[in-house]
Amino acid sequence: QPQEISGFIVSPKEHMSRASEIANLVMTQPNLEEQWFKREKKTFLDSAAEREIKAAGLAWNLFREATLGEHPYKRFWSLQPIEGIESIELDEINDWHKRAFSSKALTITVAGNADIESINSSIDTVLTGMPDSQRKPMTEFEGAQISDQTILVHKPDVEKSVLLIVGRLPARTEELDVPVQLGVGVLGWGKQSRLFTAVRTDLRAAYGFGAGVWNMTREQRVLHLSGEVETGKAQDVLDKVRESYENFRTKGVSLIEFQVARKFYVQRVRDEIKEPSSVAYMMMDAKLTGFSDAYFPGLLGRIQSQNRADVNETIKSTFPEFDSMLKIIVTPDANAIEGACVITAIDQWTSCPR
């Protein structure tokens, strides 16, 4: 998330006081020394360099390049340009830290067995000495501007081909959240999902193929279908994914798929709420997303009462049509996909018809 920073204190209640003192020091007097900075900087540079040679990294970098224009979030997510990372100095990090945190720009959630007095005292301790400046307006972000293109990045040295297909989803709402989660689960989570079955089990063309949601911000998100596929079967995979996805989008999930997905979702939430840290995170997520205070306490009941008809209506009305999605293929075979716009470098994408 480029628009917020989150952190947690996880401590037995008898050590809350000391843990809060340490957290305060980290927040107000961090020991940002040179050796630490060099290690962190090297990690970023290594990651940025890897994205330029790995097929999956190239695919996602191209997605951001083709859909985000010159928005600063593009540089944040793609770690580009590398020269910009190389030029950062420790003094700039220290300056950023002084501006980044404020006792008036916080959302705090707490879960666990500590009493309210010790919790309030710990919060006061953490915030001691922190600036009290008002929250600054967030950078405006309209989301990814996606068009129906099929772009093939020809890279003879990559070992396998990667297929990435991306389309926009509407913003999260209390009404859509559970149906979308269930739908994406049936579509592309796990070995029993539609996409895994179509590409791995039926075509034997990949070790795995799946779907997910990228919450770019709390208002803007995308659905992505992706996987590493056998180069000689790339066209077959694209055709099969189109068929499987459109069948899913128009006809929805079966009764058995729905029951299994709902059961797993309920169990996952039950497992997560056993841990106070997970509870605090889920409360924070709901609050920052703009959900009501009743949303998280009622989440299990909301999932259990969900019906298949509503899930299928959500899939049909909110999941993007396949022909509206951006298709990116990074492959050693320039002829792997019929009719694709073939480029050899990411910055050539502007030559592709839109």
3-class state of residue 342 by DSSP:
strand
Asked if residues 59 and 153 have their Cβ atoms less than 8 Å apart, the reply is yes
| Mean pLDDT in residue range 137-147 | 91
- pLDDT at residue 12 in the model: 92
**DSSP classification of residue 172:** P
pLDDT in tens, 295-341: 999 999 999 999 999 999 999 999 999 999 999 999 999 999 999 99
Contacts of 205-211 spanning 24+ positions with Cβ under 8 A? 205/229, 205/230, 205/233, 205/236, 205/237, 205/240, 206/230, 206/237, 209/163, 209/237, 209/241, 211/184, 211/187
**Phi, psi for 79 (deg, rounded to 5):** 55, 50
The reported pLDDT for the residue numbered 102 is: 86
Q: What is the pLDDT of residue 31?
A: 85
Segment among 102-111, 143-152, 344-353 with least mean pLDDT: 102-111
Residue 123 pLDDT? 94
Residue 225's SS3 state is strand
b/e per residue 222-250 (b: at least 16 CB within 10 A): bbbbbbbbbbebbbebbebbbebbeebbe
User: How far is residue 64 from each of residues 59, 108, 116, 291, 340, measured CA to CA in Å?
Assistant: 9, 32, 45, 28, 19
Distance CA 177, CA 159 (A): 37
Q: 226, 214, 52: which is closest to 144 by C-alpha?
A: 214
**Which three-class secondary structure state does DSSP give residue 273?**
coil
Burial 49-76 (b: 16+ CB within 10 A, else e): eebeebbbbbbbbbbbbbbbeebebbbe
Judged against a pLDDT cut of 80, whether residue 1 lies above it is answered with no
Is the overall model pTM greater than 0.85, yes or no? yes
Percent residues over pLDDT 90 in the chain: 80
Place of tokens 């180069």: 231
pLDDT tens column, 66-124: 999 999 999 889 988 889 899 999 999 999 888 888 888 788 999 999 999 999 999 99
Q: Say yes or no to pLDDT of 178 above 80.
A: yes
Report the Cα 321 to chain-centroid distance in Å.
21
167 touches 323 (CB < 8 A): no
For residue 353, whether the previous peptide bond is cis, meaning omega lies within 30 degrees of 0, is no
Indicate if the pLDDT at residue 135 is higher than 80.
Answer: no
Question: So what's the pLDDT on residue 7?
Answer: 86
Length of the chain: 354
d(CA 275, CA 298): 17
Residue with the two structure tokens 């951001």: 64
Arithmetic mean of pLDDT over the chain: 93
- List, for residues 4-44, the tens digit of each pLDDT value: 888 889 999 999 999 999 999 988 988 889 999 999 999 99
* DSSP character at residue 298: T
Angstrom distance (rounded) from CA 169 to CA 183: 12
